[in-house]
């Protein structure tokens, strides 16, 4: 059973790496097509439209490089997190070290966000450049077993390369929104005429068609990109929960932690829509004004706890959200 589990998890990690490459390739292909259509719609000429294609690729590559090499620093800065040492929080450091050894990963940097709302996240581009961050409220409100469950979950995101995949998806969403917004605003200020006209009725009609296609893509592309991001985020939370249990052999600790985090009414002020998917539980509560129009970045905590309780009772839970009564 153990050998089969090892193979299964290794397969999933390898699939995450392959998916990262596929996602990047698909992203570049989409940006290329999107940029050309916008260039044609704006300039009205198939040759001059290559300028739009080139501009979109430059924006995509530059934002990708910045996010890949400095994305974790931007997330930590936006979260107002500060790096700590062992002397600042010895229990937290010991737990992270335990999970680092259990997972066979390098020791990540450890940060604290001074906020009373309990939550945590991991970020970075790979296990060698990973960071885990917890709120001060998490340290105050969880016992050691619960803290271990949370840190095992975050280290699982590192081990499964979810941190890199989340960063790539974030680049996709951000760049798509940036290009779409740039085009729509430019079209609005130009009165819908674009930046140029191709001579002849046929050219003008074709440009109008391309403008309509570009408008539809500019409106729908960010929505589909966001839905893709949320879908991926939800699936990977289940996998990280299962991996965490494999590291700790204690599903109760993570289940109890999730219940406490989910039931807490404190507001995590530094959380926003760009970073919400990184946290172990959605940091933006339903009763907050900023939650309006926000798609769910996480599977329901109740469902995650139910799966963990099934593990605790001796059942084997799958990361798809299903449970079975098979005993080890």
Residue 231 CA to residue 234 CA, distance in Å, equals 5
176 and 29 Cβ atoms separated by less than 8 Å = no
Largest CA distance in the chain: 74
Beta-bridge partner residues of 157: none
∠ CA 98-276-24 to the nearest 5 degrees?
85
Q: 130-135 and 109-113 as β-strands: parallel, antiparallel, unpaired?
A: parallel
> Is 277 marked within a binding site?
no
75 and 120 Cβ atoms separated by less than 8 Å = no
Beta-bridge partner residues of 70: none
Classified as helix, coil or strand, 40 is: helix
- Mark out the alpha helices in the chain (DSSP H runs): 2-43, 49-78, 90-103, 136-141, 144-159, 162-189, 201-248, 251-263, 301-312
Residue 212 CA to residue 208 CA, distance in Å, equals 6
Residue 289 CA to residue 176 CA, distance in Å, equals 25
Burial of 259 (0-12, 13-18, 19+ CB in 10 A): middle
∠ CA 253-257-263 to the nearest 5 degrees?
150
Residue 216 CA to residue 83 CA, distance in Å, equals 44
> Is 153 marked within a binding site?
yes
154 is catalytic: yes
Identified catalytic residue from 128, 154, 269, 288: 154
253 and 145 Cβ atoms separated by less than 8 Å = yes
In the numeric block, which tokens belong to residue 282? Answer: 């959605």
> Is 129 marked within a binding site?
no
Residues assigned a catalytic role: 154
Indicate the annotated binding residues for Zn(2+): 153, 157, 237
């Amino acid at each position: 059973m153990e050998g089969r589990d090892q193979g299964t998890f290794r397969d999933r990690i390898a699939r995450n790496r392959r998916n990262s490459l596929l996602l990047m390739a698909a992203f570049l292909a989409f940006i290329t097509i999107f940029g050309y259509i916008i260039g044609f719609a704006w300039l009205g000429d198939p040759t001059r439209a290559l300028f739009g294609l080139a501009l979109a690729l430059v924006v995509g590559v530059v934002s990708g490089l910045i996010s890949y090499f400095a994305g974790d620093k931007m997330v930590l800065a936006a979260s107002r997190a500060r790096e700590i040492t062992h002397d600042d929080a010895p229990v937290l450091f010991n737990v992270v070290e335990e999970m680092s050894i259990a997972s066979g990963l390098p020791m990540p940097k450890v940060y604290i966000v001074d906020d009373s709302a309990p939550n945590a996240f991991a970020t970075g581009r790979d296990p060698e450049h990973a960071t885990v961050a917890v709120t001060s409220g998490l340290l105050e409100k969880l016992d050691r077993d619960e803290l271990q469950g949370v840190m095992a979950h975050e280290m699982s995101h590192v081990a499964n390369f979810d941190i890199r995949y989340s960063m790539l998806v974030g680049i996709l969403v951000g760049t798509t929104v940036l290009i779409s917004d740039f085009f729509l605003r430019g079209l609005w200020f130009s009165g819908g005429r674009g930046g140029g006209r191709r001579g002849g009725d046929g050219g003008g009609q074709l440009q109008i068609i391309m403008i309509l296609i570009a408008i539809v893509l500019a409106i729908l592309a960010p929505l589909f990109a966001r839905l893709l991001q949320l879908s991926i985020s939800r699936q990977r939370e289940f996998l990280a929960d299962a991996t965490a249990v494999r590291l700790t052999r204690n599903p109760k600790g993570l289940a109890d932690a999730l219940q406490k985090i989910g039931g807490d009414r404190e507001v995590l002020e530094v959380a926003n829509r760009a970073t919400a998917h990184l946290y172990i539980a959605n940091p933006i509560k339903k009763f907050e004004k900023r939650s309006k129009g926000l798609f769910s970045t996480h599977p329901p905590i109740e469902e995650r706890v139910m799966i963990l309780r099934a593990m605790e009772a001796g059942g084997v839970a799958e990361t798809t959200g299903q449970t079975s009564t098979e005993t080890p």
